[in-house]
Amino acid sequence: MSIYQKEAGKVAVVTGGGSGIGRASALAFSKEGMKVCVMDIKEERAEEVVQEIGNTGGEAIACEVDVSDPSEVQRGIEKAVQKWGRMDVLFANAGINGTLAPIEKLSLEEWNTTISTNLNGTFLTVKHAIPYLKKAGGSIVITSSINGNRAFHGFGMAAYSSTKAAQVAFMKMAALELARYKIRVNAICPGAIKTNIGQNTNATEAVKEIAIPVDYPEGDQPLEHKPGEPKQVADLVLFLASERSSHISGTEIYIDGAETLL
Ligand code: NAD
């Protein structure tokens, strides 16, 4: 019997659910009998995940949403609530690496693109989920990163790291503010995970000018000698989303195979 049996029938909204960590988490939620609204800026990706869930007997809907757009976010969340009449879990996960460049060469537009997806997107999804989560309590999980929190060697990632640090501060503010409604809020900080995030990464040549070489002759992944898998992160997300973590709120959890302790 699953340790997550209390989660069956709950409704989860997953942003960036069409790929990587979001996709793996949507599948993990569904495996426990949760209904999943898979939101992604790329609708065809979300549709594929919905199909995968359907093939295993689960229930899901796809929703084309750009998390940086307030009206799209609001409409997406309403779609999930209209379909199933409730919302219990928000996994605010959509994010991009964006443009990697030295600060003096990073344009305001490039900076803003990263901020609006990663930080504004987190704010908007949390904001629009609150009216529904408030009804019976719930769990919000935010995908931050080692970058901006425990690691600062992602050269050229000033914008990205700033959003990831801000997400943790936002998570703590939200955890206190929403505790009265029995809404828990936590963040995960993954290290390197094998996903499609490279497709949303624009690394400029100029990064070479500011990079400080760091050498790990025996590799930089002490635990498994390779990047993590999305499924490993999904196991943590499921735990934080579930009642198994009922006393955990306002906490960031690193999931990096000890990479950032090196
Ligand atoms: P991914 O690219 O595989 O998946 C991200 C998904 O988000 C994609 O399907 C993409 O289409 C979607 N997306 C991008 N912009 C969006 C927007 N504006 N609105 C809605 N959806 C949007 O990458 P991933 O690695 O699974 O990334 C998920 C999260 O994990 C991100 O927040 C990322 O910063 C974080 N993260 C990833 C790693 C890693 O090594 N992969 C490490 C730490 C943190």
Q: What is the CATH number of the domain that holds 122?
A: 3.40.50.720
Q: Is residue 262 in a domain?
A: no
Q: Is 160 a catalytic residue?
A: yes
* Amino acid 40: pLDDT: 98
The CA 76 to ligand 1 mean position distance, Å, reads 18
What mean pLDDT comes out for the span 38-50? 98
Q: Is residue 261 in a domain?
A: no
Q: Is residue 214 in a domain?
A: yes
* Amino acid 113: pLDDT: 98
CA distance 89 to 36: 9
What Å distances lie between residue 184 and 150, 167, 172, 178, CA to CA?
Answer: 23, 15, 10, 7
Q: Which residues of 43-59 are buried (b: 16+ CB within 10 A; e: fewer)?
A: eebbbbbbebbeeeebb
pTM: 0.99
Q: Is residue 220 in a domain?
A: yes
List strand residue ranges (DSSP E) for 151-203, in order: 183-190, 201-203
The alpha-carbon radius of gyration of the chain (Å, integer) is: 18
* Amino acid 216: pLDDT: 94
Read off the pLDDT band of 13 (50, 70, 90): very high
What is the count of structural domains for the chain?
A: 1
List strand residue ranges (DSSP E) for 114-237, in order: 138-143, 183-190, 201-203
* Amino acid 168: pLDDT: 99
CA distance 191 to 112: 24
In this structure, the residues whose C-beta lies within 6 A of any atom of ligand 1 are: 15-16, 18-22, 40-42, 45, 65-68, 93-96, 117, 121, 143, 145, 190, 192-193, 195-197, 199-200
What mean pLDDT comes out for the span 80-104? 98
Read off the pLDDT band of 204 (50, 70, 90): very high
